[in-house]
């Protein structure tokens, strides 16, 4: 049975180079102004923490945020930028503060802060705490701004939405002329644009991400089975994926992804470019030329990886109803010298996110089983657990039934079977979390409306 569901989604388009110089100058102006507002918020936060004598721990004082209207008086050039983009910059800072305040541990320092303290360059302070909002540097590549779409309604004099996509032309607030986009996939006919983020990639190309909501028919069989505790349809197809450093994954049917390893392919060329840039004078013309070549190569690798993972995830979701993975700690693995390079190359974390939203759109979900579940040590035939299994053992030999099987394939089968057992429970919890998030979002919207009316 299918039912209409409203869902939010984002679509990224390239911005054509045929646009006028004024448009790109407007984008650069907004990038700088939003970065300036965010840094002013961080500076105000640090001053308040210094006055309160805060160093680390739970005694975090209340922090007041500067208002955009006051900043415009002090810095008149901010008036030339999109006001909603500046307001969103303040909201981003508030979100970063809330994330830091909600952290369980506010006394751990970053590795870079500890190194500076050991070398005597800078003493430890709250500035070096993990998770605390930090300044956005131009050199670090913070080139983006986000603006919201406003629609005609009672109380405003708008005749049409402030953000419109007409054919391949995008109209943005405070920009007199439209922006020509490279359209490769059209938005749904009933798409309701929520916000737009304009950003510049490290190779200098401009892109735009359009966030919109739309209504479509979603298959509700699995959701009804989860809420009403009914059995799953017999034709439900499950697939288990076990993470593999070499091949990205091994599935429960014995297939391997055979990831092309795009970074490793370009590693020699990257090493040659990085070696050449070391011989050049920093910030000179030849230095900047070499830096642009390095940035272009990194962007190419990123796009190759993203394209491969998008196609692979779409293929798996079209063939299977439920996909099960292990909830492994990718952050910890990424910091490991022997595992980190392959992990960052294959993008398994991004691959999981793609599977998750595509399965959710299908009416199902990506099941993540507990990372402590002994998928590799358990025999997929008899269920016996081999406690003395080593990481170097690539073939699993069961001590009970004598089963001789590939280690990763055995783990993938166990992951699939565990996913079959926990799928409906996991889906029900995911649906409850989604409802709670909607309630919180609605409450936040109501509080903001009350503040506006009170002001």
pLDDT in tens, 54-66: 888 877 888 888 8
Residue 198 has pLDDT above 90, yes or no: yes
pLDDT tens across 217-272, in order? 888 888 888 888 888 888 899 999 999 888 899 999 989 998 999 999 999 999 99
Structure tokens at 411: 């783990």
Is the confidence at residue 30, as pLDDT, over 80? yes
For the chain, the C-alpha Rg in angstroms (whole number) is 26
pLDDT of residue 355: 95
pLDDT one-digit tens code per residue, 90-135: 999 999 999 998 887 888 899 899 999 999 888 888 999 998 999 9
d(CA 261, CA 309): 12
* pLDDT tens digit sequence for 219-234: 888 888 888 888 888 8
Choose among 318, 387, 322, 314: nearest CA to 351.
314
DSSP code at position 283: T
pLDDT (0 to 100) of residue 242: 93
Look at strands 206-219 and 192-200 and give their pairing.
antiparallel
SS3 of 162-180: the string is CCEEECCEEECCCCCCCEE
**pLDDT for 337:** 65
Contact yes or no for 240/251 (Cβ under 8 A): yes
- Scanning 320-406, the segments in alpha helix (DSSP H) are 330-334, 340-346, 348-361
Summarize the confidence of residues 409-416 as an average pLDDT.
93
Give how far Cα 273 sits from Cα of 205, 268, 299, 370, 373, Å: 21, 9, 15, 43, 44
The single-letter DSSP state of residue 330 is: H
Which stretch of DSSP H or E encloses residue 39?
helix 21-52
Secondary element (H or E) of residue 225: helix 221-227
Cα 336 to chain center, whole Å? 22
Of 165-174, 205-214, 382-391, the range with the lowest mean pLDDT is: 382-391
Lowest average pLDDT, out of 19-28, 307-316, 327-336, goes to: 327-336
Helix axes 21-52, 83-101, angle to 10 degrees: 40
Tell me the pairing of strands 2-15 and 179-182: antiparallel
Interhelix angle for 348-361 vs 285-319, to 10°? 40
pTM of the model: 0.87
């Amino acid at each position: 049975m299918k039912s209409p569901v409203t869902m939010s989604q984002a679509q990224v388009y390239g911005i054509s180079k045929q646009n006028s110089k004024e448009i790109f100058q407007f984008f650069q102006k907004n990038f700088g102004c939003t970065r300036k507002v965010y840094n002013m918020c961080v500076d105000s936060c640090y001053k308040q923490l210094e006055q309160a004598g805060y160093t680390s721990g739970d005694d975090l004082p209340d922090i007041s945020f500067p208002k955009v209207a006051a900043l415009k008086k002090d810095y008149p050039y901010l008036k030339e930028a999109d006001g909603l983009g500046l307001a969103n910059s303040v909201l981003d800072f508030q979100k970063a503060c809330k994330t830091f305040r909600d952290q369980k541990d506010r006394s751990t320092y970053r590795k870079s802060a500890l190194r500076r303290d050991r070398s005597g360059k800078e003493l430890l302070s709250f500035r070096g705490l993990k998770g605390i909002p930090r300044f956005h540097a131009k050199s670090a590549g913070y080139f983006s701004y986000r603006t919201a779409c406003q629609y005609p309604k009672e109380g405003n004099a708008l005749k049409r939405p402030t953000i419109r996509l007409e054919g391949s032309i995008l109209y943005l607030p405070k920009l007199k002329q439209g922006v020509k986009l490279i359209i490769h996939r059209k938005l749904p006919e009933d798409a309701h644009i929520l916000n737009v983020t304009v950003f510049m990639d490290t190779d200098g190309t401009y892109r735009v991400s359009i966030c919109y909501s739309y209504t479509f028919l979603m298959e509700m069989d699995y959701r009804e089975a989860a809420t009403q505790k009914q059995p799953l349809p017999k034709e439900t197809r499950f697939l288990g994926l076990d993470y593999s450093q070499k091949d990205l994954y091994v599935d429960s049917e014995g297939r391997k992804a055979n990831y092309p390893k795009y970074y490793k392919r370009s590693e020699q060329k990257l090493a040659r470019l990085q070696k050449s840039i070391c011989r050049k004078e920093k910030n000179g013309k030849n230095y900047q030329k070499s830096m642009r070549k390095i940035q272009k190569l990194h962007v190419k690798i990123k796009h190759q990886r993203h394209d491969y993972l998008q196609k692979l995830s779409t293929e798996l979701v079209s063939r299977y109803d439920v996909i099960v993975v292990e909830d492994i700690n990718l952050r910890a693995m990424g910091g490991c010298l022997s595992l980190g390079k392959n992990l960052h190359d294959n993008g398994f974390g991004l691959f999981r996110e793609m599977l998750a939203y595509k399965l959710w759109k299908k009416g199902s979900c990506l099941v993540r089983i507990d990372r402590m579940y002994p998928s590799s040590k358990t025999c997929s035939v008899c269920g016996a657990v081999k406690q003395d299994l080593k990481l170097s053992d690539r073939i699993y030999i069961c001590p009970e039934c004598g089963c001789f099987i590939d280690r990763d394939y055995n783990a993938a089968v166990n992951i699939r079977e565990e996913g079959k057992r926990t799928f409906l429970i996991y889906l029900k919890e995911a649906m409850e979390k989604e409802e709670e998030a909607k309630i919180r979002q609605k409450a936040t919207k109501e509080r903001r409306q009350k503040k506006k009316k009170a002001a």
